[in-house]
């Protein structure tokens, strides 16, 4: 393994920092008093970037272009919309992500959000803690019985959610860019058609320009007044203004959200909605999974620097086109 100069724009985890620092020179941009001066001093030596997190640091084309000897961008996360992978690929720069290792924890959170939103678990917890149970019972809630879950994006995480949903006796349907061979669930050609056929819409599709506001006013209206929206993918997939209006007017029943369009900023109107459960993007936030994600980044770096190629290249990477 040859030593590389790596640059990490924003802190991710101690495990990742320590693991990369063992064999490589890791430049920690977040510690630099003058980040621009730091980049200027090391840009010719940097051969890889380490990115990750949500809303922390965007690896734009302009940022990438500062490093003339850049070979790779190793991203900690399954979604990599913070990285301009198209630009990287067009300039012969490999991009990797960390798929697979976070599927189970994200699927767990997705089902937890569905249960919380349907049965109003946070609200009933607050009811008890405020002493209101002493003077009355909590109102009846909706149920999961008889529901159909429409999964918007039946990838690895979507399939893990479907497995859990089947254990709850939920019917499953899905929409994606194409119908998948060997999948028995009913396929719907558009998000609107899927929403109309279900009363739980589970959003698990990738982020990016192609999917921005794929869940819009028309989709929410198709979901209907008994419908529940769950989003554990990216906030950009949902038109938040349309969602707030749908929640306020009863066009849908409830929403459970782990992601937001401009996080960590969450609209006050969404916070004020009593028929929501809101989490601060914690789908993969367990010690076990974050260490597994960091380890996959370390393994990708080791494989690349030893000449074996990337372990988990993304679709835009030039590596796949050359093999």
Q: Which residues are catalytic?
A: 234, 263, 281
Alpha carbon distance 304, 323 (integer Å): 15
SS3 at position 132: helix
Alpha carbon distance 206, 314 (integer Å): 12
Per the listing, tokens 């809101």 go with 278
Other C-beta atoms closer than 10 Å to the C-beta of 121 total 15
HSE toward the beta carbon, residue 317, CA cutoff 13 A: 20
- Distance set, CA 312 to CA 100, 289, 297 (Å): 10, 17, 9
Helices 103-119, 287-305: crossing angle, 10 deg rounding = 150
Residues paired with residue 201 on neighbouring β-strands, in sequence order: 150, 229
């Amino acid at each position: 393994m040859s030593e590389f100069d790596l640059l990490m724009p924003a802190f991710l985890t101690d495990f990742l920092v320590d693991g990369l620092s063992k064999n490589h020179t890791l430049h920690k941009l977040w510690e630099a008093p003058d980040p621009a001066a730091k980049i200027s001093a090391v840009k010719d030596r940097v051969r890889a970037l380490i990115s990750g997190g949500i809303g922390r640091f965007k690896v734009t084309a302009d940022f990438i272009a500062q490093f003339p000897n850049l070979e790779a961008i190793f991203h900690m996360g399954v979604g990599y919309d913070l990285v301009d992978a198209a630009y990287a690929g067009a300039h012969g720069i490999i991009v990797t992500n960390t798929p697979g290792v976070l599927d189970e924890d994200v699927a767990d959170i997705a089902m937890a959000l569905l249960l919380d939103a349907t049965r109003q678990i946070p609200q009933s917890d607050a009811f008890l803690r405020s002493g209101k149970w002493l003077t009355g019972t909590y109102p009846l809630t909706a149920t999961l019985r008889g529901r159909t879950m429409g999964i918007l994006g039946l990838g690895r995480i979507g399939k893990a959610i479907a497995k859990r949903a089947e254990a709850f006796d939920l019917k499953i349907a899905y929409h994606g860019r194409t119908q998948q061979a060997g999948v028995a669930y009913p396929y719907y050609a558009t998000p609107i058609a899927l929403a109309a056929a279900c009363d739980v819409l589970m959003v698990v599709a990738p982020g990016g320009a192609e999917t921005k506001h794929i869940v819009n006013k028309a989709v929410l209206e198709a979901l209907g007044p008994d419908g529940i929206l769950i989003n554990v993918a990216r906030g950009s997939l949902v038109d938040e203004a349309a969602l707030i209006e749908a929640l306020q007017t009863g066009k849908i029943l409830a929403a459970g959200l782990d992601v937001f369009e401009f996080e960590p900023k969450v609209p006050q109107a969404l916070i004020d909605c009593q028929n929501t459960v809101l989490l601060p993007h914690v789908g993969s936030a367990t010690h076990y999974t974050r260490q597994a994600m960091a380890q996959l980044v370390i393994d990708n770096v080791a494989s690349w620097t030893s000449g074996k190629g990337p372990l988990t290249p993304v679709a835009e990477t030039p590596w796949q086109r050359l093999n």
